[in-house]
Structure 1
Amino acid sequence: MAYASRFAGRTMIVTGAAQGIGRGVALRAAAEGASVALVDRATLVDEVAAEIVSAGGTAIAVHADLETFAGARHMVAAATETLGAVDILVNNVGGTIWAKPYEHYAEDEIEAEIRRSLFPTLWGCRAVLPGMIARRSGTIVNVSSIATRSIHRVPYAAAKGGVNALTASLAFEHAGDGIRVNAVATGGTEAPPRKVPRNAGMQSDQEAVWYRAIVDQTVSSSLMHRYGSIDEQVGVILFLASDEASYMTGTVVPVGGGDLG
C-alpha cells in the first residue's frame, strides 16, 4: 500500500483509535499520507499504531483519558512534540454504555454517559484550538450520531446533541481563524465485537430486549433498512477532514442510510 495522497504532510489526531470507526479512520488516513496520533485509553491502540508503521506509515500511540482536560492536553502535546503541529482532529470517542428506557437510568449512569460521549469532544476541541488559532488553519471533525432521535439511550442522545451544537457554534466562532468544524452523524454500523466493551457488566434478559429494540428501530428508521459499514463512515469522515470539503463548516452530515436523526 502506498502512503501518499490527500493528507500528505498533515498531522492528524484520531481519538478512540483502538477499534471500530476510529481504527478505520486512522488506518486510511495513514494510507493517504497523514502522520497520525492514535489516542485511546486501551493499550490496543499500540497494535494499531504498529500496524501503520510496519506498512510504512507514520504513527504514534498516545494513552489518554479524554474525559479529562488534562488527558486532552496531554494528547495534543504528545502529537505536537513527535509529529508536529496538529492540522486535523477527529473526535471519535463516545458510545452508548447502557441501553434502556430513561426512567431506568440511575443518576451516576446518566452522568457517565455524558462524560463518555460529550466531554471528550469538548476537551479535545479546547485543547487543539490554541494552536490552530495561532496558525490560522485547522480542521476538526466530530463524530456524532443519528441517535439524537432514537429510543432507549436518552443520555447518549443528549450528549450527541451537545456535540452537534458544539460543532455549529465552534464553526461560527472560528471560521475567521481559518478553522473548519464539521460532524458526521453516524447511523447503525456493523463492527467486529469490541475487544474492550463499553459496559463490562452482564446483560440481563430485559436489557437484551431493550437493546434489541434499538437495533430494530435503527434498521426501521433507515431508508435502506440496514446497518452501514465502518468503511462507509470512514469515507465521509475523511472527506470532511480533507481539502475536498474546503467550503463546508458548521455542518452535521448524517450517514445513516437516509435516517437524518
Structure 2
Amino acid sequence: MTGAPEATPAGSPKVFPGRFEGKIAVVTGAAQGIGLAVARRISAEGAAVVLVDRAELVHEVAAELRATGAKASSVTADLEQFDGAESAVAEAVAAFGRIDVLINNVGGTIWAKPYEHYAAEEIQKEIQRSLFPTLWTCRAALPQLIEQGAGVIVNVSSVATRGVNRAPYAAAKGGVNALTQSLALEAAQHGVRVVATAPGGTEAPARKVKRGPEPEQEQEKIWYQQIVDQTVDSSLLKRYGTLDEQAAAIVFLASDEASYITGTILPVAGGDLG
C-alpha cells in the first residue's frame, strides 16, 4: 500500500499439516492479497479448495496449488451479483460434493476522501463492492450448509468501521459485522458457525487488478495519507500487519479448534478494536 509503513516480519507462517484434512474450503477473492494468502495456507493444511474471483488470475493460483499436489479448482464469478454467487457455490458442490468452510474475502476501499466529496454513484459502488459479495455468497451457501448440518462461514470485515475518509466502505463493513452476528444466531441450530475477522492495515504487494483509480491530485494524496496515518496511530503496535498474520487468524477461526466460537468478530489490527 503506497505511503504505508513496512510491516514487521512475523517469520515463516506456522502451518499445521492435516488440520483441514478431508475438508472442502471455498475462498472468495482468492486471486491476490489476503484471499491468496488464505488459499495457500488452508490448502497447505490439507483442505481441498475452490478458489473464486472475478479475475482470471485465480486460475493461475489453482494451478500453483495443484502443482504442490493439492486438490484445487477455480471459478471466475462476479460476486456482486447473486447469480455469480449461486454459480460459484454450485460449482463447488459439483466438484467436491459439499462445502465445509466458506471464507468471504471480497471487498476493499475504492476511493479515499471525506464523505461530502463522494458522488452518489461512488457510494453505491463502494457498498456493492464491500457488502454485497458477502451477502450473496452467504445466501447462496447457507442452504447447502444447513442441509449438511455442519459448516463454518468466516467473513472478512475491517476495523475501518471507525476510520477517516472512507465512510461508505465503513458502512459496508459494518453491514458485514451485522450480517455475521445475525446469521450466527440463525445458523447455530443447524450446526453452522458464522464468524468474522476485522483486519487492520495490512502490507501487501501492489494489486494486479486495481479496485479503483490511484490518487492523482495532491488533495487526493493527502486524504489517502490521512488514512495511513490514522491506521498506524490507532494500532497499539504502531505498524501494519502482514498477509500471513491475517491468514493465520482466518484459518484458525475456520478450523475445528474454534468449534466453540460463533458470532464473534475478531479484530486483527495490532490492538485497534475498530
TM-score for the superposition, normalised by structure 2: 0.93
1:101 maps to 2:137:
no
Say which of 7, 24, 34 aligns to 2:20.
Answer: 7
Match in the other structure for 1:148: 161
Contact 1:93-1:116 within 8 A present in 2 as well: yes
**Structure 2 gap segments, 5+ residues each:** 1-14
- Superposed displacement of residue 4, structure 1: 4.5
Match in the other structure for 1:27: 40
Match in the other structure for 2:81: 68
- Superposed displacement of residue 204, structure 1: 1.9
SS in 1 for 2:157: strand
- Superposed displacement of residue 50, structure 1: 0.7
**Structure 1 gap segments, 5+ residues each:** none
Deviations 1:204-234 (A, max 9, x none): 2211110010000000000000000000000
Deviations 1:102-141 (A, max 9, x none): 0000000000000000000000100000011111101000
Deviations 1:78-99 (A, max 9, x none): 1111122011100000000000
Say which of 252, 257, 265 aligns to 1:239.
Answer: 252
Match in the other structure for 2:175: 162
- Superposed displacement of residue 200, structure 1: 3.7
Q: How many residues align?
A: 260
In structure 1, distance between residues paired with 2:107 and 2:26: 16
Say which of 238, 243, 248 aligns to 1:230.
Answer: 243
Contact 2:24-2:99 within 8 A present in 1 as well: yes
In structure 2, distance between residues paired with 1:137 and 1:203: 48
SS in 1 for 2:112: coil
SS in 2 for 1:13: strand
Contact 2:215-2:221 within 8 A present in 1 as well: no
- Superposed displacement of residue 34, structure 1: 0.5
In structure 1, distance between residues paired with 2:158 and 2:215: 25
**CA 1:214/1:202 → structure 2, altered by over 3 Å: closer, same or farther?**
closer
Contact 1:3-1:56 within 8 A present in 2 as well: no
Contact 1:3-1:57 within 8 A present in 2 as well: no
1:132 maps to 2:137:
no
1:259 maps to 2:272:
yes
Contact 2:152-2:254 within 8 A present in 1 as well: yes
TM-score for the superposition, normalised by structure 1: 0.98
Contact 1:11-1:35 within 8 A present in 2 as well: yes
SS in 2 for 1:37: strand
Match in the other structure for 1:58: 71
Match in the other structure for 1:171: 184
State the structure with bigger RCO (CA 8 A, min sep 6), 1 or 2. 2
Structure 1 outlier segments of 4+, above 4 Å: none
In structure 1, distance between residues paired with 2:74 and 2:225: 35
SS in 2 for 1:189: coil
